[in-house]
Chains A and B, each alone.
Chain A
């Protein structure tokens, strides 16, 4: 495993600039790269190194830094190694290069990124609407989207949830049952 990792680090480091590597104990390797070399580095991994499977594209919202971190996870079935390719883009104008010519299924992930985080993808051909219907306003997975406040303002809620009263005594009185011993320690 160490030899495979060393070989990969050497090849990627030799071919691309500004690459920083983080090694993990398990079969995992992280690369932090620039945004504009994402298509090249993923094509290199797929065509030359045998990382033919795109597992996932995910997004992390670093609201403190004003940045989104996009993570591409690729997997090689021959070398049994997961490679995480990470890149950071600004939160104000998030724009990603399109990779759906490398993996066709990336299109779905990119649509989801656009809908849930508002990350635009350059030249993405797909309907604007994906999972949410008639959604207006801020994308819901951003960290500055106040989910609980939104839910309280949008949907009706039943009274009696806020105070969280222990009603078991009352129920027990009504049905004349006893609290079993194992359940007593959970009593508030």
Chain B
């Protein structure tokens, strides 16, 4: 009965339906984009009606929002945070800086491509993206979850070496990253 294809489909549907309506965002702002989160969460745009709300710790959160530029110093912490999050987990790249560097394209200390280090499910364009586009981004993530296409965490597990090598190339070998069980 459990291996039956139809029942698998049904359980997947129910799982994804539940996941898509409780997206908990880790309250971790990396760049200037974090300033757009309070208006998104509070009364005017009220993201909680979509099931989007803040979570205090990585282990309680489903979504890691990379809000803006990432310095190499923050990158190490972000990767550690991402690896501590429980499956299912998703990453949203927020703002131009995560896409191609944005206005920090020639900085000596910020990374330009987020998807070299983390599997990004949804990008939100803009500098800054307004709360409307943030909500649109969450809507897109909900669609992907419902269709079962938001498989960033799975990708990260399978290509762990690729992501870790890219990270090492940037941060060097001095900094110790803990190896979690996969």
Which A residues lie at the B interface, using CB under 8 A? 131-134, 140, 145, 147-148, 150-151, 154-158, 160-161
Return 10 A-B CB contacts under 8 Å, by A number.
A147-B106, A148-B106, A150-B108, A151-B105, A151-B106, A155-B110, A156-B113, A156-B116, A157-B101, A158-B99
B22 at interface (Cβ–Cβ under 8 A)? no
Once the chains are docked, how many angstroms separate the CA of A140 from the CA of B107?
Answer: 10
Once the chains are docked, how many angstroms separate the CA of A154 from the CA of B105?
Answer: 12
Once the chains are docked, how many angstroms separate the CA of A129 from the CA of B4?
Answer: 60
Contacts A147-B106, A155-B112, A155-B113 given; does A133 touch B99 at CB 8 Å: no
Pair A134/B105 contact, Cβ less than 8 Å: no
Q: Using Cβ atoms and an 8 Å threshold, which residues of chain A touch B109? A: 132, 140
Once the chains are docked, how many angstroms separate the CA of A43 from the CA of B107?
Answer: 38
B159 → chain A closest CB, angstroms: 16
Once the chains are docked, how many angstroms separate the CA of A153 from the CA of B4?
Answer: 53
Once the chains are docked, how many angstroms separate the CA of A66 from the CA of B171?
Answer: 32
Once the chains are docked, how many angstroms separate the CA of A2 from the CA of B105?
Answer: 47
A163 → chain B closest CB, angstroms: 13
Top 7 A-B pairs ranked by shortest CB distance?
Answer: A158-B100, A148-B106, A134-B174, A140-B108, A155-B112, A156-B113, A151-B106
Nearest-neighbor residue (CB-CB) of A149 within chain B:
B106
Once the chains are docked, how many angstroms separate the CA of A132 from the CA of B107?
Answer: 13
Pair B108/A133 contact, Cβ less than 8 Å: no
Once the chains are docked, how many angstroms separate the CA of A188 from the CA of B111?
Answer: 29
A115 → chain B closest CB, angstroms: 12
Q: Using Cβ atoms and an 8 Å threshold, which residues of chain A touch B101? A: 155, 157-158, 161
Q: Using Cβ atoms and an 8 Å threshold, which residues of chain A touch B113? A: 155-158
Pair B111/A155 contact, Cβ less than 8 Å: yes
Q: Using Cβ atoms and an 8 Å threshold, which residues of chain A touch B72? A: 133
Nearest-neighbor residue (CB-CB) of A134 within chain B:
B174
Q: Using Cβ atoms and an 8 Å threshold, which residues of chain A touch B112? A: 151, 155-158
B180 at interface (Cβ–Cβ under 8 A)? no
User: Which of B107, B116, B172, B175 has a CB less than 8 Å from the CB of A151?
Assistant: B107
